[in-house]
Structure 1
Amino acid sequence: MHTEFDLPKPYRPHAKFIAAFESCPLIAILRGVTPDEAADHGQALYDAGFRIVEVPLNSPDPLASISALRQALPREVIVGAGTVLRPEFVEEVARAGGELIVMPHGDTQIVRTAKEAGLACAPGVATPTEAFAALASGADVLKMFPAEQLGAVVVKAWRAVIAKRVPLVPVGGVTPENMSALVAAGANGFGLGSALYRPGQDAALTAEHARAFVAAWRKIEQARQS
């Protein structure tokens, strides 16, 4: 019998976001990217297999970078904003072409504002209380942050009580080498920051890092299917 007993409200995630996430559950974080280089890095990520890209709002002219990415990349790609700290930023991101709001914290008002605007939302949560409050507000995925502090033990504990259809996405300190332990514990995907992109690096290096992450993910998938 289907039931929603394990969620505070029916789970109805953003369909386009979930399609992109299922295609490649690696979220690129381009913190510090500038508008004139955003498209090149976005194309490098897309060519490697990424389908979700975020530009944190503490980057230089982030809305212009979001707009540049949206114009440069195919519609299947989700482009969004990270480090969204206030509800009023949601409308600005949407006007720039963003479809995803990512936060370092679990402000439920921002989650509700994002969902009311038709955007996907990935709030940052560090406790089960925050996680369930975020889900009650309409969160699409749970950004487990910071992953260095939480670790695989916490991922496993959360997976036991949070519905399997809700993606758990560790962010912070994730590398191609440590993803497998987190996936084994119950993680569904990852947000990738400085191990993927650092301000000032060229698009060729972004492409190299992106291919390494995608290769590691595919290796994990193959191991799970064997």
Structure 2
Amino acid sequence: MYAMQYQITLPADYDMGIIRHRVRTRGAALDAFAGLGLKAYLIRERASGSPVNQYAPFYLWHSVDGMNRFLWGGCGFHGIVEDFGRPPVEHWTGVGYERGPAFASAPRAATRHTRPVPSGVDPTSFVARELDALRAHASAPGVHSSALAIDPRHWELIRFTLWEHSVERQDGEMHYEVLHLSAPQAAELPTGRHWWQQPRAI
């Protein structure tokens, strides 16, 4: 699994109805995109208390082939570049994914919690603890699904969660409204940790 997001910050007086119309008329284009686990079409609005107006789609890719076709194969990202310019694309290696009790419902909100992996800690133990926390977090009422991913260049960990409804703000979290969810292979994203454990030699 690969996590990916680009965040397009728009002018303070930007009519976010333009983005809503864009998603309403074009969002279904990825509803059957091969290799895509899910794409959440996300926005933040100043009118709803956000510090910025922002269009910020978030992706969980089932395969790197699908991600590459989207980015470089003329299958979607070129439209973003043509309309908004080329935004930085954040990406992380997926380490865990869990389905929540509201997986069958359409999510209306999303949160992204970001934290550094502290220097001097054992990354193996750190990730193991975070995976335990992910399982507990994903079992909360209203959770559609939740993913854990790491950027090992900057040692940044993110936990991305889709919710059936809006939730109370927590420190270190970005909150988004979900306008549409394309989820062609969400049910195929493996749950639990995302690597095979090599048995130790005896």
TM-score under structure 1 normalisation? 0.29
More helix by share: 1
TM-score under structure 2 normalisation? 0.32
Task: For CA contacts below 8 A with separation 6 or more, give which structure has more relative contact order.
Answer: 2
More strand by share: 2
